[in-house]
Amino acid sequence: MSTPVPTPTQTAASLARGVTATGWYIATSMVFFLLGTVAVWGLVVLIAREGWRNPVTLLVYVVSAVVVVVATVLLLTRYRRDGDLDDSDRPSWRRRFLSLPVIAAVLASIALGVVAGSALLGAALVGATLCLVRWGPGIRWRGVVLLEIALVALWLLEQAGPMPRSDAFVLVFFAVALPMTQALSLWSWDVVLELDRARRTEARLAAVQERLRLAGELHDLQGHHLQVIALQLELAERMIERDPDAAARQIALARTSVDEARDGTRALAGRFRGVPLPDELANAADLLRAAGLAVALDVAGDAASAPADLLGPVIRECTTNVLKHGGGAWARLGLERVGDVWRLTMANDPGPGSTIGSGAGLEGIAHRIGVAGGDVASSRDDASFTLVVTVPADGSAA
């Protein structure tokens, strides 16, 4: 079986899933790096100074760390949501800088610095929190560069203090690297969001172009037939007194032109309304996966040439039946060409108490396929329910 060529619908769906997964990965990595920084400082500084022996110090450190992490998660969620807004809809500076998550994270960061006895830790956490706020173009990077210089200066000042020498490099690395890492991660996230916006814009433009193409073809089709009908009726009006028979022939021709215009419009609408079978099967698989089923999809490489007007309704009907009456855990969809027929196979495990295959849906499918010269066969046992539909490849019977 040849590998199916990805269709635009499949590509857009996979890209959307990739954008979402990348965003989750970036946000998760930022949270974990923050957790690592807080944990390393807590273990090294508190244990080295025996701060764990003081319940108040230990409690303040743990609570402040939890507040910083929770506020970071909330700010990341807001950052993702605000990334979908236009420039005119961006939140005000009061909501960005004076909101509860920002204030809570800043106060908790200062508390962590006081408990750890290090201005370096407090300043690094405050800077990491402010990085999560949406700044204007270029402002975040300038602020991060200045912050990194300030953190290095604070580190140099703290060298004269009681900071443990053996673990100083580890602490300084996490503290200095935290704001820069958050800024780089957010830059990557902005790139991903921009790609996502470009994808959605491309989809909207494609839809607009398709509508314009449909409007152009409809204009050409209807304009031609309407012009012919107008000329035929005008000619019949002029001839009706001196040659009624000729006028009647022109009226008959005008009615024929009306039928041709109606048939052409119907055919045009059907061509634009139809969905290629690879897309139809991919959509059905995505829908079943969203319902929690493990789906196997096996589609021939030339499946786009299969009769979508016959098999498309069958796929939709069977997908609906599996969702409503299946009750199982897996499904299998396949489309292949065997000789001069196309064979569609849909199978699933019925699940306990399932009524799939017992309704009138199969009778309707069998009738439609039988009229087109095809065949429908179904089988059911305790392990699976299988439906096999075959239709002529040339579509002549249809």
pLDDT by residue, tens only, the chain of 398 residues: 444 444 444 444 444 455 667 778 888 888 999 998 888 888 876 676 665 667 777 888 889 999 999 999 988 888 877 765 555 556 666 667 778 888 998 999 999 888 887 888 888 899 888 888 877 777 777 888 888 888 888 877 777 655 444 456 777 888 888 888 888 888 888 887 787 777 777 767 766 776 777 777 777 777 877 888 888 888 888 888 888 888 888 888 888 888 888 877 777 666 655 567 888 888 888 878 877 788 888 888 888 888 887 888 888 888 888 877 666 788 899 999 888 889 999 888 876 656 565 555 677 788 888 888 888 888 887 778 888 999 988 754 44
| 228: Cβ contacts below 8 Å, ≥ 6 apart | 254, 257
End-to-end Cα distance, the chain: 26
CATH class of 277-392: alpha beta
**Chain centroid, CA 323 distance in Å:** 21
Vertex 58: Cα angle to 54 and 59 (nearest 5): 115
The CATH architecture of the domain made up of 203-273 is Up-down Bundle (1.20)
pTM of the predicted model as reported, rounded to 2 decimal places? 0.50
pLDDT given at position 324: 74
- pLDDT of 107 reads 93
Give the model's pLDDT for residue 68: 92
Predicted pLDDT at 352: 60
**pLDDT on residue 251:** 86
> What's the pLDDT score for residue 93?
64
Domain boundaries defined on the chain: 8-201, 203-273, 277-392
